[in-house]
Amino acid sequence: MYQVVRARLGALMRAVGAARRRWAAGRDSGMVTSEYAMGIVAAVAFAVVLYKVVTSGAVSAELQGIVKRALDARM
């Protein structure tokens, strides 16, 4: 009886291992790295655009005005 159970358990483990190997072979392993790279490029591009907007003349003057009004506010 023990040998029959052991044989069936071995066959089941081999089938599970084969299924796992088939699944692992079908994965797209380079996808995660490329997604991170594209996310970093997009974040840097957004940061550059935001920096250019904030340091432009009109926006800079408006931000300075907001800060000045906030500091001059009385309670």
Q: What is the pTM of this model?
A: 0.44
Cα(first)–Cα(last) distance of the chain, in Å? 89
Token duo for residue 39: 């996310």
Q: Range of 28's domain?
A: 2-72
Whole-number pLDDT of residue 55: 86
Helix ranges, 1-75 (H): 2-25, 31-54, 57-72
**Under a CB-based contact definition with an 8 Å cutoff, are residues 53 and 59 in contact?**
yes
pLDDT exceeds cutoff 80 at 20: no
Phi/psi at 27 (5° precision): -70, 155
Domain count, the chain: 1
Whole-number pLDDT of residue 1: 67
Rg (CA), the chain: 31
